[in-house]
Structure formats: C-alpha cells, structure tokens
Chain A
Amino acid sequence: SQQGEEDPQALSIQEGENATMNCSYKTSINNLQWYRQNSGRGLVHLILIRSNEREKHSGRLRVTLDTSKKSSSLLITASRAADTASYFCATTGGGNKLTFGTGTQLKVEL
C-alpha cells in the first residue's frame, strides 16, 4: 500500500506568499526526501532529512520532520511563479527503495 499521503492535494497562492505542504507516512523511516516535478518532466531532488533530524534548511526551503507523528512539512518561502510544480515526499526504511507520497500540486500566480 502507498506509504505517504500529502496534504493539500492542490495549493494555489500568490507570488511572494509562503507555501506549506505536509506529508504523513506509516512506518519507521531512515530518511525522508522531497522532490519537485515540473509538468512533463522528471523529478528533481530538493532536500533530504534524516530520521534523527528535526529541521533542515536549503535556500528558500525549510523541511521539518516529526517522527513521533510520522509527518513532515515542506515550507517554500517567498514563492515565485517558477515554483509552480508538483511536490512529492518520499521515504525509505534504509535500503534503496523510495516510497513516494501522493504529491501536492502547487500553483504560484503572478
């Protein structure tokens, strides 16, 4: 069965606003990753957070991880039109296998 559920399924915001996406998962993990997929393209790795980390930053991205609640959030600050894409969380229990969430479609309007 699918590991991750993402919320919301779709999000529409104005340029300059912050976007927050949430991911919940079911089993214990080794790390959690976030990927972006632009329309008609492959996935691009954004950020990885290990199970012993609680927060991580990369540029305008901030990821949090709460292993007790089995959830993670991705915050994109000061969004731009170019951030319009689908965002997926993916978890792994330690091996090579990544289990992806259902994705959040983000639309940033000018």
Chain B
Amino acid sequence: DTAVSQTPKYLVTQMGNDKSIKCEQNLGHDTMYWYKQDSKKFLKIMFSYNNKELIINETVPNRFSPKSPDKAHLNLHINSLELGDSAVYFCASSSDLSRGAYNEQFFGPGTRLTVL
C-alpha cells in the first residue's frame, strides 16, 4: 500500500551510460515531480507533470528526459551519465491545485544514483 514508490532504490553505473528511474503513485494525484538532492542535502525541483503534461521544467541538462505514460507514473531517463549526476533523486506527487488543494507533496523513498 505504498503511496509513492520508486525503483530502483540504489543505482550504481559507469560514466556515459544511460539509465532510467521509475516512479508510481497510487494516491490518485494529478501532479508528479522529480527532485534532485545533492550531497549537502539541498533539494531542487527538476520537473513537474500535471495529467501527463509538462508544467515545470527547471534548468536541467537535456540529458534528463522525464516521461509520463499516465498520470500515475513519471519516469526519469538520463543519458550519458556524468559524475555530477550522482545524487539522490526523489519523486513526489500532489493533488491538482485547480481542485482547491494545497500543494502538499508526498515523496517517494528516493533513488541513490552513483556514477563512477
């Protein structure tokens, strides 16, 4: 009965590889997010999708491409991985603000990506 789940939990890979992280939420939320948390615990938003449409796209290298097959899933694909991509990536979801909700966000457990 996990609300927001991510796979894998840990990902260790070589520089230059391409990898994907998957996220699923069973809360019925319309909006999903990807965040990056660096080694100093600074948390920064990368992308947000609302009902499969991209609504937030921060200054992120275009090696990062989010994909939302349906509103319950938001996957993150990263091409040509670099050392600086090492971080913990969090998926989150929230209700649609147009329905009067506040944007309290529910976070997944995180994926620790290590690029060697």
* Residues of A participating in the B interface, judged by any CB pair closer than 8 Å: 2, 31, 33, 35, 37, 40-45, 48, 50, 86, 88, 92, 95-100, 102-103
Nearest-neighbor residue (CB-CB) of B58 within chain A: A97
| CB <8 Å contact, B41 and A86 | yes
Nearest-neighbor residue (CB-CB) of B55 within chain A: A96
| CB <8 Å contact, A96 and B4 | no
A50 CA to B45 CA, complexed, in Å: 21
Nearest-neighbor residue (CB-CB) of B48 within chain A: A96
Q: Which residues of A contact B48 (CB under 8 A)?
A: 96-97
* Residues of B participating in the A interface, judged by any CB pair closer than 8 Å: 4, 31, 33, 40-45, 48, 50, 55-56, 90, 92, 94, 97, 102-110
Q: Which residues of B contact A2 (CB under 8 A)?
A: 42
25 example contacts (A-B, Cβ-Cβ < 8 A) are as follows A2-B42, A31-B103, A33-B104, A42-B4, A42-B90, A42-B107, A42-B108, A43-B43, A43-B92, A43-B107, A45-B104, A45-B105, A48-B104, A50-B102, A86-B41, A92-B103, A95-B103, A96-B33, A96-B94, A97-B45, A97-B56, A98-B45, A99-B45, A100-B44, A103-B41
Q: Which residues of A contact B90 (CB under 8 A)?
A: 42-43
B111 to chain A, nearest CB (A): 10
Interface of chain A: mostly helix, strand, loop or mixed: strand
B37 to chain A, nearest CB (A): 9
Q: Which residues of B contact A48 (CB under 8 A)?
A: 102, 104
Q: Which residues of B contact A96 (CB under 8 A)?
A: 31, 33, 48, 50, 55-56, 94, 97, 103
Q: Which residues of B contact A97 (CB under 8 A)?
A: 45, 48, 56
A31 CA to B33 CA, complexed, in Å: 18
Given A42-B108, A42-B110, A96-B97, A31 contacting B102 (CB threshold 8 A): yes
Q: Which residues of B contact A98 (CB under 8 A)?
A: 45, 103, 105
B69 to chain A, nearest CB (A): 20
B13 to chain A, nearest CB (A): 20
A42 CA to B42 CA, complexed, in Å: 13
Q: Which residues of A contact B4 (CB under 8 A)?
A: 42
A96 CA to B50 CA, complexed, in Å: 9
